[in-house]
């Protein structure tokens, strides 16, 4: 009789402990930190500062969750000069720095650029692009 009670108690304890030890669901948390990387490239064709000309294809990438801005640096004080980004006209700023693309989130995009030198043809000077994470 004692053996039967012992076996029954062991079976009960075995069932109880297995029910407590095995949760019905699991949770897995994964966390990582990624550095902010931004880049802008221009696959340029030869450009003329004297007449309207295609600058080429601009590719921008930035993984900043807050977004980014792309700036075009050029000569200061140009009158009527503009850059077209995917056909949209953006007048060049008198300061020599013109915002040509903005994203409120991380993104990877491409645009076609075209330069219209305006009244100051020949004075546009060197052009450069810079991308800034927000």
Domains of the chain from N-terminus onward:
38-133 (2.60.120)
Instruction: Please tell me the predicted confidence (pLDDT) of residue 21.
Output: 62
Q: From the CB of residue 78, how many other CB atoms can be counted at a distance below 10 Å? A: 22
User: How far is 129 from 108, CA to CA, in rounded Å?
Assistant: 16
Distances (CA, A) of 77 to 100, 107, 122: 17, 32, 13
15 φ, ψ (degrees, to nearest 5): -70, -40
The encoded tokens of residue 61 equal 């990438």
- CA gap 82, 98 in Å, rounded: 10
Instruction: Please list the pLDDT of the chain residue by residue as tens digits (134 residues).
Output: 555 555 555 555 555 555 556 678 888 888 888 899 999 999 876 666 567 889 999 999 999 999 999 999 998 887 789 999 999 999 999 999 999 999 999 999 999 999 988 876 666 678 899 999 99
């Amino acid at each position: 009789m004692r053996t039967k009670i012992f076996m029954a108690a062991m079976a009960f304890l075995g069932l109880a402990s297995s029910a407590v030890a095995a949760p019905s669901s699991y949770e897995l948390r994964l966390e990582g930190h990624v550095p902010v990387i931004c880049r802008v490239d221009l696959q340029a064709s030869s450009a003329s500062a004297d007449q309207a000309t295609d600058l080429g294809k601009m590719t921008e990438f930035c993984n900043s969750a807050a977004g980014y801005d792309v700036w075009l640096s050029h000569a200061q004080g140009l009158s009527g000069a503009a850059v077209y980004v995917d056909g949209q006209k953006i007048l060049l700023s008198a300061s020599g720095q013109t915002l040509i693309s903005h994203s409120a989130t991380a993104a990877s995009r491409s645009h076609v650029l075209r330069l219209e030198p305006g009244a100051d043809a020949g004075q546009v000077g060197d052009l450069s692009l810079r991308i800034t994470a927000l």
